[in-house]
Amino acid sequence: MNIVIIPCYKVKKTILKVISDIPNSINKIIIVDDKCPEETGKYVLKKKVSKKIHVLINKANLGVGGAMIRGYLFSKKFNPKFIFKVDGDNQISSKEIKKFLVILKKNNKIDCAKGNRFSKLNHYREMPYLRLYGNKIVSLIGKIITGYYHINDFTNGFFCISGTCLNRINLKYISKDFFFENDMMIALSTLKAKVVNVPIYCSYKGNKSNLKIYKIILPFILKFFRGYLTKNNFIKKNK
């Protein structure tokens, strides 16, 4: 079983498009409304777009990482093979999941597949320069900290992780804010998990992201080093 989790905050205008573009081969779709002021979760329930959908509504805003962690915990009841994180802003089309599924089918030893916007110029040409260079800086630090030198897009939130690998991560210590993806990468490196790139296209035209790259570069660098020093906390201890 493969599952998609969509953390939702101010994405009411795009959420139905994101859901409709998810491949039919995905078995469950978990919407996590992170106390969205637009009440995206209730909107999705009202539209009744698919029987695959489960809607979770947070009583308080937990941040994108906090929303994902709640989705992860809920997803475990379905014993998923892979869990995808897809953002609700539609900057990266959920149709891209098909590329992941092809790669995962070819190699059953993959633990995580990470979207990569930088494989081709036309995949990131719309990205603002400040955001582009900010991402490059963060990814360089991520490579050094994790040893995943082949991974080129650490801040990309479009990725999937195997259920088996997820069960070994102590989600209690994973960041609940926008650093969530990077803490997950540190956890994966501690597990010596196999992580691969998947080339994907990202569109910035008419799509507004909640992430402000210029505000997070310095905090991200500090969190990378904190994560590295405490990386063993990310792994569940054998009892």
User: Do 77 and 156 belong together in one domain?
Assistant: no
Q: Pick the closest to residue 155 from 81, 100, 219 (CA basis).
A: 219
User: What's the Cα-to-Cα distance from 6 to each of 50, 111, 121, 230, 238, rounded to whole Å?
Assistant: 14, 20, 27, 28, 31
Q: Which two tokens stand for residue 199?
A: 């080339």
Please write the tens of the pLDDT for every residue from 109-129. 999 999 999 877 665 666 777
Query: Is the residue at 239 inside a domain?
Result: no
User: Do 23 and 116 belong together in one domain?
Assistant: no
Q: How confident is the model at residue 212 (pLDDT cuts 50, 70, 90)?
A: low
pTM of the model: 0.92
Radius of gyration of the chain (CA): 17
Query: Is the residue at 203 inside a domain?
Result: yes
Please write the tens of the pLDDT for every residue from 67-94. 999 999 999 999 999 999 999 999 999 9
CA-based diameter of the chain, in Å?
Answer: 50
Query: Is the residue at 237 inside a domain?
Result: no
Domain residues for the domain of 203 are 95-232
Domain count, the chain: 2
The CA-based dihedral angle spanning residues 146, 88, 80, 53, taken in that order and rounded to the nearest 10 degrees: 170
Query: Is the residue at 153 inside a domain?
Result: yes
User: Do 100 and 166 belong together in one domain?
Assistant: yes
Average pLDDT over residues 173-192: 96
User: Do 182 and 64 belong together in one domain?
Assistant: no
Q: In what order do the strands lie in the sheet containing 2-8?
A: 53-57, 28-33, 2-8, 82-85, 159-162, 112-116, 195-199
Query: Is the residue at 76 inside a domain?
Result: yes
Pairing of strands 53-57, 112-116: unpaired
Query: Is the residue at 178 inside a domain?
Result: yes
